[in-house]
Amino acid sequence: MSLLKINDLHAETSGKKILQGLELEIKPGEVHAIMGPNGSGKSTLGKVLARHPEYNVTRGNLAFKGEDIHGLEPHEIAQQGLFLAFQYPVEVPGVTGMTFLREAYNSRLRYEGKDEADAMEFLKLVRSKAKDLNMSDDMLKRPVNVGFSGGEKKRNEILQMAVLEPKLAILDETDSGLDIDALKLVADGVNALRTSERSMLIITHYQRLLDYIEPDHVHVLAHGQIQRSGGKELALELEANGYAEFDGKV
């Protein structure tokens, strides 16, 4: 059974057509990487899946866990187990990291008909996962992402993913702006979350992240469609040759 199945997906934003017939299937436990040039629709795909209100599906089928998700709100698809790590994580002044995590975690529990988490047990859980990402208690007490470096923001995203344990994690250019040490730390955090049930969709320009997160499948997205698919060797080929081959393909 597919965890995510996309057929003939067309999507636009602000009247501009971006995705134009995209096809993709992700099964439980699989890691897929989407690569492609600027403007190809990579980030649009992530936002469409997360049900961003500014991105409209105009045609096609979009199923998560076997159910159509066209009409869902962002919080509803999140409760069902889809997580989006942003390329540029937003700052949330006035809300501490711990408060943010606790509310998100309890929201999921309420959706599942369960009791909210015990405050002390939840604190232990978050501290344990934060330690693996070299995140201090001080970072958890600060407003979400406010004053964080690029690497700290990305680690914060991976911490959120570790706490919420989604069924499908979409990483939108998580490697953007990271030095090699931060990249390895983030990749280790992602790899620690890989299971036979959890799937991941990694959106990236460059092959270097895939040195640390081994994908099962690599896809080239250009002109709003998947133009080619393969294994890690395809990522290496793209790193060597760029995307010129796909400039004229529609």
**C-alpha to C-alpha distance for 34 and 21, rounded to whole angstroms:** 15
What does each of the 250 residues of the chain score in pLDDT, given as a tens digit? 899 999 999 999 999 999 999 999 999 999 999 999 888 899 999 999 999 999 999 999 999 999 999 889 999 999 999 999 988 888 999 999 999 999 999 999 999 999 999 999 999 999 999 988 888 889 999 999 999 988 889 889 999 999 999 999 999 988 877 888 888 888 888 898 999 999 999 998 878 889 899 999 999 999 999 999 999 999 999 988 888 888 755 4
Domains and CATH numbers, the chain: 1-80+214-250 (3.40.50.300)
Contact present, 207 and 36 (Cβ < 8 Å): no
Residue 250's pLDDT is what? 44
**C-alpha to C-alpha distance for 48 and 14, rounded to whole angstroms:** 13
| Burial of residue 24, with CB atoms counted within 10 A of its CB: 0-12 exposed, 13-18 middle, 19 or more buried | buried
Residue with tokens 């959120």: 160
Give the CB-side neighbour count of residue 112, counting CA atoms within 13 A. Answer: 15
Residue 207's pLDDT is what? 85
**C-alpha to C-alpha distance for 50 and 169, rounded to whole angstroms:** 10
Element (H, E) at 235: helix 232-241
